[in-house]
Amino acid sequence: MLEQAGVEFAVRAPDFDENQAKQAHSLDGEKLARLLAEGKAASVTVGPNDWVIGSDSIVIVDGVRYSKPRDRDEAAAHLRAFSSRTMLLSSAVALAGGGHVDWTHAETARLEVRPMSENFIQAYLDAEWPAVGLCVGVFRMEGRGVTLFESVEGSHFTILGMPLLPLLGALRARGVLQS
């Protein structure tokens, strides 16, 4: 998303244990996504004039928080649990400079998952695995994941994993992007 928006960036792995943070908090989706994005952004060391972008997404279905599946069997179990349910997908983004979070934003999209047969789930995973194994919610909206849903309410970018438009505004406000 950043590349397509013309934002120059370098990827650096955060020094942040998101699993520990998830286990320590029973926050709602937006609050937890924000906490994870902030933790990732603040944990990356960069130069004094550089900004770090951290982001994360949380999926909740029927009050249960889902993480990325560990394997294909767990991915299929997630899809079975999502069938005919409402998925709340919360994504957050944070900006940090000098190890301190300067700005955050979180949004939640509501996705109505259609009924899915076992044959559909297996065919979907045949086509999309292992790529969807890296995705919370076991889907890529820019791929065949769009076929999982009856309706979607919320920002397309939030569903892709990062509230991009608010981030671009924050980068313009800080002089990183031209306004």
Assign residue 52 the CATH number of its domain: 3.90.950.10
Looking at the 3D structure of the chain, how many domains does it have?
1
Q: Which helix (H) or strand (E) holds 101?
A: strand 100-113
Asked if residue 8 belongs to a domain, the reply is no
pLDDT range class, residue 144, cuts 50, 70, 90? very high
**What's the pLDDT score for residue 99?**
83
Asked if residue 51 belongs to a domain, the reply is yes
User: Which positions are catalytic?
Assistant: 56
Domain interval for residue 69: 18-173
Asked if residue 34 belongs to a domain, the reply is yes
Q: Which residues pair with 2 in a beta bridge?
A: none
Asked if residue 74 belongs to a domain, the reply is yes
Q: By the 8 A CB rule, do 88 and 106 touch?
A: no
Asked if residue 108 belongs to a domain, the reply is yes
Of the candidates 64, 60, 70, 80, the residue with the CA atom closest to the CA atom of residue 129 = 70
Asked if residue 1 belongs to a domain, the reply is no
Question: Is the predicted pLDDT of residue 117 greater than 90, yes or no?
Answer: yes
Amino acid letter at 71?
A: D
Question: Is the predicted pLDDT of residue 19 greater than 90, yes or no?
Answer: no
